[in-house]
């Protein structure tokens, strides 16, 4: 959708657009209905819930607060949707619009292609990919399947990694990152689940994934999802119990008032 590009759609001439469409034939169809559905899902997953994790409207005397936004892990297009759905925008074509752009997709070496990204210290990405708990992760090599990318990062998010051309390759919401408490909102431009070396694994019994961080991401996400589900079920039970208690109290008060009038 041209609205995603922060007004830069009109900066791309027709010749360049035609060239981009020709290079990325499987990734250029405009599907407004699909975009609208995905953006609505992102917004519903991202918005704070009234009476949510940071709000208790009953002064601490009512049921426990709603656990808030659902855990969200957006990868590749999913990270771009997460950013756009929260007020950010994109480059229509990185190679055409980013000075000194690195290669972000290689159709001739699709799954094996890698490029380095610089990791921001003390972010979840750094912690996931550390090989030594005391030594921050400085860089990793990631796969890359995109010709578009984040132009403006939504203000709620903080970057966790950049490619050499300055493109944001990973980000998160610091206020929604606590997996043990059911909070997780992360965007990754790469696919950690596809960063595997099967031949090496079968030949040497070395780990399947290129980095331990690849599966640690999913461990954190699953931890957050389980915790969120537990908290949501507790919230629903408590709300139901509270409603029953209020109904009983209301019925008793009505009965007493009726007796007092006799």
Q: Which residues are catalytic?
A: 76, 191, 193
Nearest to 169 by CA among 111, 231, 118, 94: 118
What are the two backbone dihedrals, phi and then psi, of residue 216, each rounded to the nearest 5 degrees? -65, -35
What whole-number distance in Å separates Cα of residue 40 and Cα of residue 65? Answer: 24
Closest CA to 123 of 87, 168, 166: 168
Rounded Cα–Cα distance for residues 64 and 155 (Å): 29
Question: Is 69 within 8 Å of 45 (Cβ atoms)?
Answer: yes
In the chain, which ranges are continuous DSSP H helix?
A: 14-23, 32-46, 77-85, 94-97, 124-129, 198-204, 213-261
């Amino acid at each position: 959708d041209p609205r995603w590009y922060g007004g830069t759609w009109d900066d791309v001439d027709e010749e360049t657009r035609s060239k981009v469409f020709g290079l990325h034939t499987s990734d250029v169809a405009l599907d407004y209905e699909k975009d609208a559905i995905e953006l609505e899902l992102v917004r519903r997953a991202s918005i704070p819930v009234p009476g949510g994790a940071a709000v208790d409207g009953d002064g601490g005397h009512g049921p426990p607060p709603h656990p808030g936004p659902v855990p969200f892990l957006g990868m590749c297009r999913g990270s771009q949707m997460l950013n756009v759905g929260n007020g950010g925008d994109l480059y229509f074509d990185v190679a055409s619009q980013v000075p000194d752009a690195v290669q972000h997709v290689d159709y001739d070496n699709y799954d094996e292609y890698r490029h380095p990204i610089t990791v921001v210290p003390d972010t979840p990405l750094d912690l996931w990919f550390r090989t030594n708990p005391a030594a921050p992760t400085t860089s990793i090599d990631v796969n890359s399947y995109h010709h578009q990318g984040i132009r403006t990062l939504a203000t709620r998010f903080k970057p966790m990694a950049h490619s050499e051309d300055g493109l944001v390759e990973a980000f998160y919401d610091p206020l929604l990152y606590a997996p043990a408490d059911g909070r997780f909102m992360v965007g990754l431009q790469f696919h950690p689940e596809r960063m595997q070396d099967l031949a090496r694994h079968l030949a040497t019994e070395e780990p399947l994934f290129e980095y331990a961080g690849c599966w640690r991401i999913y461990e954190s996400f699953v931890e957050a999802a389980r915790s969120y589900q537990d908290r949501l079920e507790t919230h629903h039970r408590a709300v139901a119990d509270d409603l029953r208690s209020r109904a009983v109290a209301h019925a008793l008060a009505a009965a007493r008032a009726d007796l007092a009038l006799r």
